[in-house]
């Protein structure tokens, strides 16, 4: 797999996940035959890490990874879950 994390300074809030973590997440979400071909970590986010995934025999996907629970701010706990739950209320 072509794996391209962002370089980060020591002690940065965001921490990149490893290639094996990406592979394990893909297998968990898409099934054991899903094989990531490449992952590029995208910059610009302040809280979650965001990766663009290229998967064999599938459409590209976006993977967002929250910080470990012990590194999350109190206001950020379950942030992605809350974001998904609020989307229907923001739709026309």
Q: How many domains does the chain have?
A: 1
Identify whether the C-beta of residue 65 lies closer than 8 Å to the C-beta of residue 18.
Answer: no
20/89: higher pLDDT: 20
Query: What are 6-56's pLDDT values in tens digits?
Result: 998 888 888 899 999 999 999 999 999 999 999 999 988 878 899 999 999
Token look-up 């992605």 returns 80
Confidence grade of residue 69 (pLDDT, cut at 50, 70, 90): confident
Task: With 0.85 as the threshold, say if the pTM is over it.
Answer: no
Count of beta carbons in the 10 Å neighbourhood of residue 56: 11
Q: What is the pLDDT, as a whole number, of residue 11?
A: 85
For position 40, which CATH number holds?
Answer: 3.30.200
Confidence grade of residue 73 (pLDDT, cut at 50, 70, 90): confident
Q: What is the pLDDT, as a whole number, of residue 56?
A: 94
Q: Where are the alpha helices (DSSP H) in 1-92?
A: 19-30, 79-90
Domain that holds residue 46: 2-90
Helix (H, G, I), strand (E, B) or coil at 72: coil
CA distance 66 to 77: 9
């Amino acid at each position: 797999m072509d794996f391209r994390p962002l370089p980060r300074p020591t002690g940065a809030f965001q921490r990149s996940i490893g290639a094996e973590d990406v592979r394990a997440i893909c297998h968990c979400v898409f099934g054991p035959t899903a094989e990531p071909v490449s992952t590029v970590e995208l910059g610009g986010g302040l809280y979650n890490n965001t990766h663009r995934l290229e998967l064999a025999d599938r459409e590209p996907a976006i993977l967002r990874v929250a910080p470990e629970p012990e590194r999350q701010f109190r206001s950020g706990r379950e942030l992605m879950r809350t974001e998904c739950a609020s989307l229907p209320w923001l739709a026309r």
